[in-house]
Amino acid sequence: MNIYYTYAYLREDKTPYYIGKGKGPRAFRTSNRHCPCPADKSRVLFLKTGLSEADAFKHEVYMIAVLGRKDLGTGILRNLTDGGEGTSGNKRSEEFRARMSEVHSGKTISEEQKHQISKTLTGRTIPPEARRNMSLCKLGKKKSLETRKRMSKPKSAETRKRISIAQKNRHRNNNEQT
């Protein structure tokens, strides 16, 4: 499936500082990154879309070679590798997953942290191209019966009201942008 893309992070002067390969929302993720995603999402440039994974890796390698790496003194990019590698399709062992579950169990998020997360995500918009890529990566995947049952559980009146308000605001904001 051709659901991969290459992207660039741009400085304020519109020169690239990082080249990457991804699918879905990868270009906008901020965790586990040595090179930060720009706060201004208009400075995330999709170079090529609709690629196979192999083609995306090739394009990433090509772009890094053309623009060069700062750490090697050959160019302007902050990439630490020549590209073309990654943990795509990486499967974690049951042992690893159990260990991570144990490490994170019992952790709670403070109200302050929740407020900060909410503040960060409020007003965030995802470009149409990224939305399309996120949709394509789910194409053909079916939810389990258990998941479908959990999703269809009756919701309380309060929850239904909050969802209704959120949807109305979302549609209102979309209409104002067009």
On whether both 60 and 131 belong to a single domain, the answer is: yes
Dihedral angle sign, alpha carbons of residues 88, 131, 150, 100 = positive
Whether residue 162 is predicted with pLDDT greater than 70 in this model: the reply is yes
Q: Which of 54, 51, 53, 79 is nearest to 65 (CA)?
A: 79
Indicate whether 153 and 83 sit together in one domain. no
Q: Clarify whether residues 137 and 161 are in a common domain.
A: no
Could you give the number of structural domains in the chain?
A: 2
Band of the pLDDT at 148, cuts 50, 70, 90? confident
Q: How confident is the model at residue 173 (pLDDT cuts 50, 70, 90)?
A: low
Q: What is the pLDDT of residues 15-55, one digit of tens each?
A: 999 999 998 888 988 766 778 888 888 999 999 999 999 99
pLDDT at 133: 80
Q: Measured between alpha carbons, how far is 76 from 42 in angstroms, rounded to an integer?
A: 20
Residue 171 lies in a domain: yes
- The answer on 152 and 84 residing in a single domain is no
Do 3 and 136 meet the contact criterion of CB atoms below 8 Å apart? yes
Same domain, 18 and 48: yes
Answer positive or negative: Cα dihedral of 178, 5, 20, 90. positive
Q: What is the mean pLDDT of residues 150-168?
A: 85
Cα angle value 71/82/53 (rounded, 5°): 150
Q: Is 16 helix (H, G, I), strand (E, B) or coil?
A: strand
Question: DSSP for 52-82?
Answer: -HHHHHHHHHHHHHHH-BTTTTSSSB--SS-
The whole-angstrom separation of Cα 88 and Cα 71 is 24
Is residue 14 situated within a structural domain? yes
